[in-house]
Amino acid sequence: MEHAARGARAAGGLTIGLLPGDDPDDANEHIDVAIATGLGHARNAVLARTADGMVALGGGLGTLSEIALALRNRRPTIGIKTWRFDRQDRTEPELPIAENATEALDWLVMSAPHQLDERARSGFRQAFGYPPGAVAVAPGRINIIGEHTDYNEGFVLPAAIDRHIGVALRLRRDARIALRSDRYQASVEFDALPTRRQGNWADYVIGVTREIDQRYDPGPGFDAFVASDIPVGSGLSSSGALDVANAVAMLAARGIELPAVETARLCQAAENGFVGAHTGIMDPFTALTARGGNAILLDCRSMRDEHVPLPDGRFAWLLADSRVRHELALTAYNERRRECEAAATVLGLPSLRDAREADLPGIANPVERRRAQHVVTENSRVLQAADALRRRSPRGLGPLLYASHESLRLDFAVSCRELDCLVELAAGMPQVIGARMMGGGFGGCVLVLVEAGGIDDVEQHLAEGYADEFHKSPEFYRVRSVDGVMPERTT
């Protein structure tokens, strides 16, 4: 137990000791939070939360060698978020206190979406003084390949990940709207549903609500609380997860049933219309329909989808966040969409989905021709990547990921030096299968497919090389695939 706790402390995390007796003071100096379980000497254990949120299990509930391995690789056997226990207040103050060891243990084995559900419910009760009427939890996503193809009616290959947003809400008897979040300190309140953008996170909630009102009768006001563990601006679709969680909770509260595809279209319409981001349908569709262990091959024209198996445990997905947030990203994103539409018009096509490489010389404008070149070749890479996954050949993804990045850098012109640096550093590591920038561009994350046993070395190499050039460290997220939106829960 002491060995496991020492390893967790070395990993920079929170150690939670599950002690066999009745006295929490029996914990050694390596334990941050002690829980006296009274379960007997055969059941002592240590739960160790590392700095990136991973948790390993050791002692009587798992061997010390297992916890040492889990800590070294940061591969959890149980995933949790921080909690306030009844003995010490070491973590997030907005979370409720566990009343006893049984409640604490129940929390420790909760899945990630259930934790966000509980955080949203607790935050709502603390903010408004009464329980929510409906709660929904939606995941963020990675996009393995297929960037800027969804709004061109092409193909994408996303997967939902274990970062979530939970929305808890209750309808009011009047028209007032009150919004709170554990991510943003400022509260947002309106006498009625706004008709204009506010320029902040509330626009996503307002936009989805307006879309529901336009499709059905206008609804009443509401109170809502948003809990999130998705990094904003990293290209992990925090906005898409917020759209979906809000839509699913609001539809449930109003007693409206809507198929997943229609809910995704509703969310896309909210972003395209009210928010002003001309995004495609990939993000909301993924948050609604994903299956753990699988990516979704989605045809964004027909909306036909196929779940294809992701690489097994010998491989891992690492996200390296450049910590760059360029203000021009949204403007440039919309500009790229206009350029793609112009290229399709020149070719006499409804979208670039129908274009072929042989058609590209017919586009006189060199910028529009390069944009079309990216879309055409990226669609091909998506189909090749899906085939590699079907054949259980994850190493076949490597050249495709690198080619995708080069196309985004040169033809679509949405990369930046920080992203290029991370990809170049990753390419120099033998444990890396492939890497590319991910998301709309101009900052955010690089997606790296890596041999699981080499992830620590890769992370260190990227951190050191990035710091040498930019004098700051990237953030790293080790993610795994999960199911889509947790079914709404009403109270």
314 secondary structure, DSSP code = T
Residue scoring higher pLDDT (447 or 334): 447
pLDDT at position 82, please? 30
Q: Can you tell me the distance from the alpha carbon of 276 to that of 133, in angstroms, rounded to the nearest whole number?
A: 30
Split at pLDDT 50, 70, 90, the class of 29 is low
Q: Can you tell me the distance from the alpha carbon of 464 to that of 445, in angstroms, rounded to the nearest whole number?
A: 17
Q: Can you tell me the distance from the alpha carbon of 98 to that of 280, in angstroms, rounded to the nearest whole number?
A: 42
pLDDT at position 326, please? 60
Cβ partners under 8 Å of residue 335, min gap 6: none
pLDDT at position 52, please? 41
pLDDT at position 491, please? 52
249: left (phi over 0), alpha (psi -120 to 50) or beta: alpha
- pLDDT, mean of residues 453-463: 94
Long-range contacts, stretch 415-418, CB < 8 angstroms, 24+ apart: 415/441, 415/442, 416/322, 416/324, 416/326, 416/441, 416/442, 416/443, 418/322, 418/323, 418/324, 418/443, 418/466, 418/470
Mean pLDDT of the chain: 82
Domains of the chain: 2-110 (no CATH), 115-142+158-294 (3.30.230.10), 309-479 (3.30.70.890)
Phi, psi for 185 (deg, rounded to 5): -70, -40
- pLDDT, mean of residues 440-465: 94
Split at pLDDT 50, 70, 90, the class of 208 is very high
With beta carbons less than 8 A apart as the criterion, state whether 213 and 193 touch: yes
pLDDT at position 259, please? 94
Identity at 281, one-letter amino acid code: I
Q: Can you tell me the distance from the alpha carbon of 69 to that of 75, in angstroms, rounded to the nearest whole number?
A: 8
Q: What is the dihedral of CA 65, 69, 72, 76, to 10 degrees?
A: -120
User: Residue 170 pairs with which residues in a beta bridge?
Assistant: 223
| Lowest mean pLDDT segment, chosen from 17-21, 127-131, 396-400, 402-406 | 17-21
Phi, psi for 12 (deg, rounded to 5): 80, 25
Q: Can you tell me the distance from the alpha carbon of 228 to that of 236, in angstroms, rounded to the nearest whole number?
A: 12
Active-site annotation, residues = 283
pLDDT surpasses 90 at 98: no
- pLDDT, mean of residues 67-81: 34
Residue scoring higher pLDDT (441 or 297): 297
pLDDT at position 35, please? 52
pLDDT in tens, 298-326: 999 999 999 999 999 899 999 999 988 76
Q: Residue 435, SS3?
A: strand
pLDDT in tens, 250-277: 999 999 999 999 999 999 999 999 998 8
pLDDT surpasses 80 at 33: no
| Lowest mean pLDDT segment, chosen from 98-112, 322-336, 413-427 | 98-112
The per-type count for the chain, helices as H runs and strands as E runs, is: 13, 18
| Lowest mean pLDDT segment, chosen from 40-44, 335-339, 396-400 | 40-44
Phi, psi for 49 (deg, rounded to 5): -95, 115
- pLDDT, mean of residues 144-157: 96
153: left (phi over 0), alpha (psi -120 to 50) or beta: left
Q: Can you tell me the distance from the alpha carbon of 308 to that of 102, in angstroms, rounded to the nearest whole number?
A: 39
Task: Name the nearest CA neighbour of 437 among 406, 397, 482.
Answer: 406
Joined together, the tokens standing for residue 175 give 């028209």
